Amino acid sequence: MSQYKFISSLEELNSEFDKDNKPRKILMRPLWLHVYYKEGNKFILRDSKGVWEGTSTNMTIAGKDVHKFVEQGYGLTRQEVISSLLELFDGKDGYYAADLKLRRYFYCASEESLREKLIELGAKEI
């Protein structure tokens, strides 16, 4: 049995990831828009999970460094961003959108509201 499967179309690729055969759209967002997810006492930088999952350790470390650099590029640290989110939104679990360029932070209770907020802030569906 082969480890690989040849995918001949975008529709076939989408069906591999979404068994309901719903068309999937990807959001491309500007570098200054970050997404965080809070569950319990953990904050997860959402950007790195999807992009770096399943890659080598070196790629994962490189990906985390890129995200740290982006925050630093706007004069912020990850701790400052997370502290702002906790203070502004009383530590609610859910999704947070952070516009690092303008230092604006938004709370989104669901993935759908997060998607809408990201589009409003300049993300594009592809």
Give yes or no for residue 38 having a pLDDT over 80.
Answer: yes
pLDDT digits (tens, 9 = 90+) for 6-30: 666 666 666 655 555 555 567 888 8
Backbone angles phi, psi at 22, to 5 degrees: -80, 140
Question: What is the C-alpha separation between 27 and 116, in angstroms, rounded?
Answer: 10
Q: Is the overall model pTM greater than 0.75, yes or no? A: no
Question: What is the C-alpha separation between 107 and 115, in angstroms, rounded?
Answer: 12
Distance of CA 60 to the CA centre of its chain: 15
Taking a C-beta distance cutoff of 8 angstroms, is the pair 82, 43 a contact? yes
Question: What is the C-alpha separation between 119 and 125, in angstroms, rounded?
Answer: 8
Every domain of the chain and the residues it spans:
26-125
pLDDT digits (tens, 9 = 90+) for 99-124: 999 999 999 999 899 999 999 999 88
More confident residue, 59 or 84: 84
pLDDT, average across residues 77-90: 92
The reported pLDDT for the residue numbered 89 is 96
Taking a C-beta distance cutoff of 8 angstroms, is the pair 61, 125 a contact? no
Question: What is the C-alpha separation between 94 and 113, in angstroms, rounded?
Answer: 11
HSE (CB half, 13 Å, CA atoms) of 92?
11
- Both tokens assigned to 35: 């997404």
More confident residue, 94 or 9: 94
Backbone angles phi, psi at 59, to 5 degrees: -65, -40
